[in-house]
Amino acid sequence: MSDEIISPRIYFKNFGALIVLLLLTIGAAYLDLGPLNFVLAMLISLTKTALIALFFMHIRWGGKMLHLAAGAGLLWLGILLALTLGDYISRGWLPVAQH
């Protein structure tokens, strides 16, 4: 685990960045970009998640084992999303299912 002391400045900078991203989210909701709205919102929220995980949760300073644990969490989330979306995407493939 991290032995070094992390200066509070990093947390404040991080907090600032999160607030900026929050404002961006709100702003983006007022733009009409069609399907890109969703993509943009997702990109912003992924950035927020990454900031929180890396800095607030100290994963950036963690050892190999911590990285492995965090990576496993991501991989498992990937399994959930991939196999669930696999169902939704392939539902229309069978002619019968289209009524």
- Residues lying near another protein in the complex (CB under 8 A) are found at 65, 72-73, 76, 79-80, 83-84, 86-88, 90-91, 93-94, 97
- The least distance separating another protein from the CB of residue 81, rounded to whole angstroms, comes to 10
- Check if the beta carbon of residue 25 is closer than 8 Å to that of residue 44: yes
Cβ-based nearer residue to another protein, 13 or 58:
58
Cβ-based nearer residue to another protein, 4 or 87:
87
- The least distance separating another protein from the CB of residue 91, rounded to whole angstroms, comes to 4
Tokens 């991989």 correspond to what residue? 75
For residue 51, give the nearest of 77, 13, 78, 25 by alpha carbon: 13
- Check if the beta carbon of residue 49 is closer than 8 Å to that of residue 21: no
- The least distance separating another protein from the CB of residue 15, rounded to whole angstroms, comes to 25
- The least distance separating another protein from the CB of residue 18, rounded to whole angstroms, comes to 21
Cβ-based nearer residue to another protein, 5 or 79:
79
Number of C-beta neighbours around residue 55 at 10 A: 19
Give the pair of three-digit tokens for residue 99. Answer: 């009524």
